[in-house]
Structure formats: structure tokens, C-alpha cells
Chain A
Amino acid sequence: DSGVTQTPKHLITATGQRVTLRCSPRSGDLSVYWYQQSLDQGLQFLIQYYNGEERAKGNILERFSAQQFPDLHSELNLSSLELGDSALYFCASGDPDEQYFGPGTRLTVT
């Protein structure tokens, strides 16, 4: 158990809809990283937050947004969903030297 929690575990929704994925980092970690892993694809970095502020941005679509709250949990919002957004979404916490990954949320867009 990495200490990073993600909810929900699975999510099935239709195209055009909007969903919110939630992540709670390990106790004491200020950074949260979001990743997308499509079927048979490598992990793609989406975005990083540090203590409530956006720190780094990767290949995140404009339809996606994230935020980190004062209690350090983070939410990833995905809107106008397309079939191609179906993937595993991982959250990680830690620092650049070591990141601990959560169990992931499997999103299926039908």
C-alpha cells in the first residue's frame, strides 16, 4: 500500500459527459502528480500540483483540469469525454526523487 488513495476505482460514463477523479496524497506529501495510461500505452504525465499551486504541466488536454485543495487532496476533472479518454488515471505523491502511485481509477467512456 503506497499510502495514496484514489476514488472511484472504476467509472463508466457516456461520451460528452463530465467526471471528477479524486486523489488523497500520502500524509505529509505536498505534491500531487496526475498520469494517464491508455491501453497498451506508456504513462503520460498530465499535471503536477504543489501545495495548492500548479507546478508543472504535461500533455493535458484543454478539456481536462485539475486542482489541489487546502487539505492537499486533488481532483482531476475531465469534460466533454470522448471514447479515446478511456484509460487508467493514476495519481502519485512525493517529490521528484521518489513518487508513490495510487491504485488508479479506470475510466471507461461508452
Chain B
Amino acid sequence: KNQVEQSPQSLIILEGKNCTLQCNYTVSPFSNLRWYKQDTGRGPVSLTIMTFSENTKSNGRYTATLDADTKQSSLHITASQLSDSASYICVVIIFGNEKLTFGTGTRLTIIP
């Protein structure tokens, strides 16, 4: 069964600190992996998209890594800000299939 698992389920950190969110997937065959940010009650917004051949991709303070061999990805947030408080969702796309497989997300809370 194609699955995407994220850890931790929730995380609380102080403003200014760094953090790393994890994503493990069993989706096969793999096309690409995306990280989305979802503010409470709003639609997800894409942060990064990585294909099979990409190991790392950055978007400002967000850096995503991908190890296609171990089927793991991480999202590293540097110098967190209060506005980073949101759910971060890992999404994997099956090659040749337009359906997205979503993880259940990590709920990140930044406290001042």
C-alpha cells in the first residue's frame, strides 16, 4: 500500500530556533515529492518540489532533502519565525499517476 508517514506529529520550538521535519514514504514508482505549508483553515501552499534525481532544494529559510534510496525526505526550517506556525505536509506523486498521496502532516508551533 502506498503510504506517506511524517514525524513528529507535532512540534513546539522557540522563535529563532531551527527544526527538521521527517517524511518516510513507501510510494512506488516515485515521480516527485513535495512539501506544502498549510495555515489553519486555509489551503496548502507549495514550498518545494523535488524529482527523483534531486537531493536538496531550498526556498528561502526552507530546505528540503530527498534520499530516494531510503525513501526519506526532510524539511529543515532555519531561524524560525512566528509565521512558520502551520502544518507541514509531505506529498508524494506516483510516476504515471496524477493522484497525490498526502502525509498527515506535522503541526509546528513557534512560540516567542
Contacts and interface: CB of A to CB of B under 8 A. Distances in A.
Contact-residue bracket for chain B? 10 to 19
Nearest to B100: A45
Interface in B46-61: 46, 49
A55 interface: yes
Contacts, number: 49
Interface string A24-65: 000000000000000011111100100000011010000000
A90 B97 CA distance: 20
Contact of B41 (A42, A97, A100, A104): A104
B1 interface: no
B112 interface: no
B104 A101 contact: no
Contact of B99 (A45, A97, A101, A102): A45
